[in-house]
Structure 1
Amino acid sequence: MSSQRPYLLRALYEWIADNGMTPHVLVDARMPGVRVPAHAVKDGRIVLNIAERAVAKLELGNDSIRFTARFAGVSQSVMVPLEAVIAIYSRETGQGMAMPDEPRTPPAAQADAVEIEQAAETPSGDATETPETPPEPPKRGGHLRIVK
């Protein structure tokens, strides 16, 4: 399945803007691919105002947020991979949402899973096999924080 992040981000952006509020995103600036002004980063994070009046050429894509904005009077290009977005919220009310963690299976683990499935399909001839225990459901990660 495709990631839910871009859809949630666009929906919340639209909801915040439609209600006359200012959308902000909290970004983990240490993530690979994040291009933001270094002088604006504090404790590895940056809050970006992505209101239509604050940015130019805003693109809320499926993989990243891209726009041009002024920082200390200098126009700069900004690019934020969606994996680096921690939350989107309204500056005025603080209402919004922390982005959910995406379940990721590394490619090597996927290959291992295929090999295990194939091995399970081949009869082993061993009558002492015990039935497998069902896998535990994935743990829900993350929690909401009030970001001011």
Structure 2
Amino acid sequence: MNISTKPYFIRALYEWCLDNGYTPYLAVWVNEHTRVPKQFVKNEQIVLSISTTATKDLLIDNEWISFHARFGGVSHEIWIPVGHVLSIFAKETGEGMGFEIEKWQPENVADTLPDTPATNDETPKKKVLKLVK
């Protein structure tokens, strides 16, 4: 089974934005598996700055993008399935890359986000080993 190229492109374009002094932004498709402040979601989408000044503890791994950010002075913990990223782009130029939506399909309840914000370094549960027949 091949790992998606999407998280690699997201990380590369994030670094490209920073190297050029641009502000990296994500456009994200939102559903029940995406943790963002719902009051800023329009038409099932949200656009988020992921710059170093807008985020704390940014992590872009192969399955999730997570960070802390302030909205209206209130801190929020953000969790985005990588498959829900519609695009990453530089705010200043609009240059970036768009992607197809890959809906997050948890295989069981343990794969979903917790109902309440995670604390004490809790992260969503991920399967480590998958049986392929």
CA deviations on 1:53-73 (whole Å, 9 max, x unpaired) are 110000011101000000111
Partner of 1:48: 48
Unpaired segments ≥5 residues, structure 1: 103-113, 115-148
5 Å-filtered alignment, 1:33-112, equals 33-100=33-100
- 2-structure distance, mates of 1:53, 1:71: 13
CA deviations on 1:123-147 (whole Å, 9 max, x unpaired) are xxxxxxxxxxxxxxxxxxxxxxxxx
The reply on whether 1:5 has 2:6 as its aligned counterpart is: yes
Distance verdict in 2 for CA 1:56–1:91, change over 3 Å: same
- 1-structure distance, mates of 2:52, 2:34: 21
- 2-structure distance, mates of 1:93, 1:66: 25
Pair member with larger Rg: 1
Give RMSD over aligned pairs. Answer: 1.4
Aligned partner letter, 2:20: N
CA deviations on 1:29-76 (whole Å, 9 max, x unpaired) are 12x410000011011100000001110000011101000000111001
Percent identity reads 43
> Which consecutive aligned stretches of 4+ in structure 1 deviate over 4 angstroms post-superposition?
none
- 1-structure distance, mates of 2:99, 2:38: 23
Aligned positions, number: 102
Partner of 1:24: 25
Contact 1:25 1:50 (8 Å CA) reproduced: yes
1:68 match: secondary structure: strand
